[in-house]
Amino acid sequence: MANKNSLLPWLLPPAVAALAAAAVFIGPVSNPDAQILLAIRLPRVLAGLIAGAALAGAGALMQGVMRNPLADPYILGTSSGAALGAVCALVMGAGYGSPAFYAAAALGGFAATAAAYLLARGPGRTPTVNLLLSGVVVSSFCGAAILLFFSLRRSESFSALMFMMGSITETTPAVLATAAALFAAGAAGALLMSRRIDIMSMGPEKAQSLGVNTERLKLSAIIAGSLMCAAAVGLSGTVGFAGLIVPHAARLIAGPSQRRMTAASLFIGAGFLVVMDSLARSLAAPRELPVGALTAMTGAPFFLWLLNRRGNHV
C-alpha cells in the first residue's frame, strides 16, 4: 500500500517519456530515414500517448464516480456508439480516416452516452445502478445495429472491424490536435473533480452533508469522460481493457486518492498504449496486429493477478 510520500509515482513521467522516445525508434522499417521517423512514427507515438492517457483517465473517472471497480470508459455504451457511427460513415461513402469518419465516430459515442444517461435519469436523481444497466442496453442495441450493417453491406463495413478492434492508424495533424484538445479538457475536468469524487466514496448521505451535489458531479464526470473517450476513439478506434486495468495499476502505485490515482493513470495509460502499439507494429513485421488484441491479452492475466491479490488482502 503506497503512502502519501512514496517516491514511486514520481518516477512515472520520466519513465513514460523514456518509453515514448524509445518507441519512436521501434518499428517494422529497420533503417528508417528522417522522413519516416518524423512524419510517420512520431505522430503515431504521440497518438498512442494521448489515446492511452485518455482511456486510462476516463476509466479512472468512471470507476471513481460510479464506485465500481469494473467500470471502464465505455460503460455507458460509448464504444458501441462510436463503432456504429464509424460504420454508418463508411456505408454512406466517407473514406476511412477522413474527417467525416472521425466526426461520425465521435458523435456516435456522444449520442450513445447521452442516450444511456437520459434513459437512466429518474425524478431528481440518476442512480448508478440505472446508469450501468442503461449502458448495457445502449451497447447491445448499437452492437445489433452494427451486425445488421455487416450483413447487408459487408465490404464497406469490413474496414470498421479494424476500428472496433482498436488500432492506431496514422492520422493527420488536424485530427491529432483536435484529439489533444478534447483530451486536455476532459483530463483537466477529471483532476479538478477528484476531491469531490473522494467524498462520494462515503455514500450519498455523507457526501450531500459535505456539500457535494452528487447528481451534478455524476453528470460532470460523464461529460469529462466522454470528451476523453472521443479523443481516444479518434486516434485509436475502440481499444478495450486499457481503461479498465490501468486505473487499478495506478491505485496500487499511487494510492486511493482520486487525484493521485487519476494522474498516475494518465501516465501509465500513455506508456502502456505506446508499448502495446510498438509491439503491434513490430511483432509480425511487416504485418500489423490490432493493438486492441494485444491490450486484451496482457490485460486479462494482469486482472487475474489483481483479483487474487485482493482476495488475500481484504
Binding site for another protein (CB under 8 A): 1, 3-4, 27-29, 32, 35-36, 39-41, 43-44, 67, 90, 94-98, 155-156, 158-159, 162, 167, 169-173, 192-193, 195-196, 198-199, 201-203, 205-206, 208-213, 255-257, 259, 281, 285-289, 314
**C-alpha gyration radius of the chain:** 19
Which C-beta is closer to another protein: that of 158 or that of 305?
158
Amino acid (1-letter code) at residue 53:
A
CB atoms within 10 A of CB 62: 29
Residue 97 beta carbon to another protein: minimum distance, rounded to whole angstroms? 6
- In angstroms, rounded to a whole number, what is the distance separating the alpha carbons of residues 164 and 90? 13
Amino acid (1-letter code) at residue 74:
Y
Residue 162 beta carbon to another protein: minimum distance, rounded to whole angstroms? 6
CB atoms within 10 A of CB 309: 12
Which C-beta is closer to another protein: that of 53 or that of 193?
193
Residue 293 beta carbon to another protein: minimum distance, rounded to whole angstroms? 12
- In angstroms, rounded to a whole number, what is the distance separating the alpha carbons of residues 76 and 74? 5
Amino acid (1-letter code) at residue 255:
G
Residue 73 beta carbon to another protein: minimum distance, rounded to whole angstroms? 20
Place of cell 483479483: 307
Residue 198 beta carbon to another protein: minimum distance, rounded to whole angstroms? 6
225 neighbors 61 (Cβ within 8 angstroms): yes
Which C-beta is closer to another protein: that of 47 or that of 244?
47
Selection from 264, 241, 270 nearest residue 251 by Cα:
264
Which C-beta is closer to another protein: that of 14 or that of 95?
95
Which C-beta is closer to another protein: that of 155 or that of 312?
155
